Amino acid sequence: FNAADDCGSCAAGYENYPNCYQTCSNAMNCSGHADSVTGNSNTGCNCTCANKWTGSQCQTCPLPFAGINCGSCAPGYEEYPFCYRKCTNAANCSNNAVTVSGNDGPEGCTCNCKDQWNASNCGNCPSIYNEAQGCRSCASGLGGYPNCRRICTSAADCHGRATGVSGLEGNCQCTCPPQYSNAEKCGACAAAYEDYPNCYRTCTTAQDCNGHAQSVTGNVNTTCQCTCDAHYDPAQNCGACVEGYGGYPNCRRLCTVAQDCSPGAKNATGFAGNCQCICENQWTGSDCNTCNHPYNASKNCSACVDGYEDYPNCYRTC
């Protein structure tokens, strides 16, 4: 009670005479953190907390708030009085961001993804990349990072016939067996081969006609048909002289009695232009056209003329 008022009123800090209940105060009942206080010890105290203090006595400054007066954001939060949580790589960008900005307020987070990660939270590695290696290399079977394309294979790009393959899809380089065309990715016969996909070597005069043919048809599977130069035998793929010619590979005409000697010859040797006539009986001369005395030409130079005897000596008869 108020002694100065002859105990006729409540002392300072009390109210509701004559009961004089203690009046609630910020310092005593609201932890010093209230903007205003109402009530007394009888009715109870009602604290209107300042800033972001909370609790019946304004005794708690909860996250995300901080500061002596609970008037700022705690570390990791921003934009007081909302105090949105700042975005982080771990919490918002799947640990796959180069930089992170924003908060969990209305504007949200902005993740600047590293390597080939994408999606708003950098949580997606497209299928063409290797997620197990941090989305910074191509997936199995692909190459050319970061523009990953399928690695060329013989089966997919070279008709299954290549002995070597390089490059990426759209620019494959096939190393084909000799009978297949590199330019056609083993999908056609190379020059001098035919009958795809078998691709047999086509016949050539040099390889299959011993270099003595005017032309040739066929391939090594169907057999070669040589049109031989004159005097060469097609039955032997131009590898021998026809009858009447010899001296392969020059194939010159063989000398004959009929063509190169007189009837007095029994045989001929050598090649045309250099024949050797072998004379029969007593014929003489380079072509056996001379029957010398005392031999009888009318009898094929095989008898003595009249007045001579004892052929082939042909002594004069006494």
DSSP 87-137: P-HHHHSTT-EEEEEEBSSTT-EEEEE-TT-BSTTS-B--TTB-GGGTT-S
Q: Could you read off the pLDDT tens digit of each residue along the chain, which spans 318 residues?
A: 666 677 878 988 888 888 999 999 999 999 999 999 999 999 999 999 999 999 999 999 999 999 999 999 999 999 999 999 999 999 999 999 999 999 999 999 999 999 999 999 999 999 999 999 999 999 999 999 999 999 999 999 999 999 999 999 999 999 999 999 999 999 999 999 999 999 999 999 999 999 999 999 999 999 999 999 999 999 999 999 999 999 999 999 999 999 999 999 999 999 999 999 999 999 999 999 999 999 999 999 999 999 999 999 999 998
Please give the pLDDT value at position 3: 64
- Whether 312 is covered by a domain: the verdict is yes
- Whether 75 is covered by a domain: the verdict is yes
How many structural domains does the chain have? 3
The pTM (predicted TM-score) of the whole model is: 0.61
Range of the domain at 135: 89-150
Bridge-based pairing state of the strands 84-85 and 265-269: unpaired
- Whether 210 is covered by a domain: the verdict is no
Asked whether residue 48 falls in the same domain as residue 115, the answer is no
Domain boundary among 101, 134, 150: 150
- Whether 238 is covered by a domain: the verdict is no
